[in-house]
Amino acid sequence: MIASIPPGWILLIGGLLVPLIPRRARPVWLLALPIASGAHLLTLPLGFQVTASWLGIDLMPVRVDGLSLPFGVVFHLAALLAVIYALHEDDLVQQGSALVYSGAAVAAVFAGDLLTLFVYWELTAVASALLVFAARTPRARSAGLRYLVIQVASGAFLLAGAVLQWHRSGSLAFTPLSLGTLAGSLVFLGFGIKCAFPLLHSWVQDAYPESTATGTVFLSVFTTKLAVYALARGYAGTPLLIGIGAVMTVFPIFYAVIENDLRRVLAYSLINQLGFMVVGIGIGTAMALNGAVAYAFCNVLFEGLLFMAMGAVLYRTGTVKGSELGGLYKSMPWTTAFCIVGAAAISGFPLVNGFISKPLILDAVADRHLLIAWFALVFASAGVFHHAGIKIPFFAFFAHDSGVRCREAPFNMLLAMGASAAVCIAIGIAPGLLYGLLPFPESYRPYAPSHVLAQTQLLFWAGLAFAWLVRSGIYPKEIPSVNLDADWTYRHVLPRSVRAGVARWQEARESVAGYARRVWAPVAKGVALGVGPDSAVARTWATGTAVLWVVFFLALFLLVYHLRYLS
């Protein structure tokens, strides 16, 4: 009976019921849901499947296997941590939609066919958009609308591809797909939008930083990692992904260096992180896929932790702009410490979880002797440390003292950050905890002396570069600004060209009408004489005259008729 509940549904239904729970019982309810849902998932054995038939189509609403399970586990872990982090909030919209969003993402990971996947895919889109809207600012409203359009479009591509696939092969099963077919390409594009492929990426840095302090933490976890899972399931070993992933690791770090909004810096770093996973999926060997899954798992934890730390800063000071912050370690020492753990983890320092997951991907790249990708990824690894590892904690908590004084983050936020940091360290010290969960057996030894040394050299010298650039004044200052990105095309160029186009059209219509009036006026006059309102044709006739004419024509007709037959 219990097993017949699809994974994620406890979160989904529980989230919808949140408004009915009395306020005082709500924290217990919110905490119980991810725990109950996670426990339920762990009762399902590997290989567990549920099949169904709907309108003659074979569906597989649930499929638990080695690839979906690690995502399911980390999604539950993240949901629990994020719920703790948001426990002080008293906003039904956020509490409800965050849980529905988490539940839909979990359910999507365990969907065994493309139609089921589509349904949950769109549900994550709608529920997560509510988290953006929940900030209730004009900026969040417009960013949320753009976000929603893009997310729903991603689902539309997925559905179109699924329908074509069904038409072609008679099956909707979510198994490896091919880019050689239109169906496969459409699904790929749908996944690519959610995975923030280059030029399809700008919704991440547009919408995520506009959500609430707690909403962004949820957002950073599910949508993009669901896309990583979907790519790993459908397109493992697709060489195109190696190139796409390598570009994703590199280009966002340039933006991250000059971005002032620290949550937007993290959004760029999120794209960079996804790039590593996408490269792993593109290589597609057992080690590379293990690397992609392991890195997704770890990223959920440390990227979530960094978003939590910046959320705490936003919650206490009202801003996360680098230009307005600095010296906060005096006010928020615990947040500072947890943020540094997250920063060390994302950078891949030994003893934290980034160190034991990223090298699986890098080694897989080196095994294939993919020279350009390898240099890009090592460059990006140094770059991650630069913008996420140093810039985030440095400009928020150290740098020059901004004079901002505030209280330490609320206890529940600290608890969530502390627990995240503890898990990051636990996995870093005991990699077996994570390796045992991966889709393929993994025997990698991250703590080989040469690897430890290589990574520490890279990071310390990258850190030295930062320190030297800051001390010599070369490092670009944090200044209030917006940097143009791909969203410029639809936020600036498109509206302007549409407006210009409409104006041009009206102008053209006016001039054509004027020309017509001048040239055609005499003609029109003539026509009006013939058939216009005052012309003979339009004149009204007395009934008697009309009858006379009818009789005349009838007589004429009869005459012609007889003449024809007489002759």
Binding site for other proteins (CB under 8 A): 139, 253-255, 257-258, 327, 329-330, 363, 366-367, 369, 374, 378-379, 382-383, 386, 398, 401-405, 448-451, 453-467, 469, 471, 474-476, 479-485, 491-492
What stretches of 26-137 show up as alpha helix (H) in DSSP?
26-43, 68-85, 92-109, 114-133
Minimum distance from residue 138 beta carbon to other proteins (Å): 8
Tell me, rounded to whole angstroms, the distance of Cα 192 from its chain centroid: 10
Distances in whole angstroms, Cα of residue 150 to Cα of each of 93, 121, 143, 189, 511: 22, 12, 11, 12, 38
State the DSSP H helix or E strand holding residue 221, giving kind and residue range, or none if neither. Answer: helix 215-235
Rounded to whole angstroms, the Cα distance separating 369 from 337 reads 39
CB nearer to other proteins: pick between 171 and 483: 483
- Cβ neighbours of residue 424 under 8 Å, at least 6 residues apart? 298, 301, 302, 305, 341, 342, 345, 352, 353
CB nearer to other proteins: pick between 15 and 383: 383
Minimum distance from residue 291 beta carbon to other proteins (Å): 15
Minimum distance from residue 505 beta carbon to other proteins (Å): 24
335's tokens: 């947040």
CB nearer to other proteins: pick between 445 and 539: 445
CB nearer to other proteins: pick between 496 and 509: 496
Answer yes or no: are the C-beta atoms of 315 and 86 closer than 8 Å: no
Minimum distance from residue 281 beta carbon to other proteins (Å): 20
Minimum distance from residue 309 beta carbon to other proteins (Å): 19
CB nearer to other proteins: pick between 472 and 567: 472
Minimum distance from residue 221 beta carbon to other proteins (Å): 27
165's tokens: 């696939």
Minimum distance from residue 403 beta carbon to other proteins (Å): 3
137's tokens: 């600012």
CB nearer to other proteins: pick between 25 and 448: 448
Rounded to whole angstroms, the Cα distance separating 101 from 150 reads 17
499's tokens: 């407006």
CB nearer to other proteins: pick between 124 and 317: 317
CB nearer to other proteins: pick between 168 and 330: 330
Minimum distance from residue 386 beta carbon to other proteins (Å): 5
- Cβ neighbours of residue 422 under 8 Å, at least 6 residues apart? none
Rounded to whole angstroms, the Cα distance separating 137 from 212 reads 10
**Strand-pair partners of 49:** 63
Minimum distance from residue 373 beta carbon to other proteins (Å): 12
- Cβ neighbours of residue 511 under 8 Å, at least 6 residues apart? none
299's tokens: 């990223």
CB nearer to other proteins: pick between 468 and 552: 468
Positive or negative, the CA dihedral 530, 535, 539, 545 is: negative
Rounded to whole angstroms, the Cα distance separating 344 from 455 reads 12
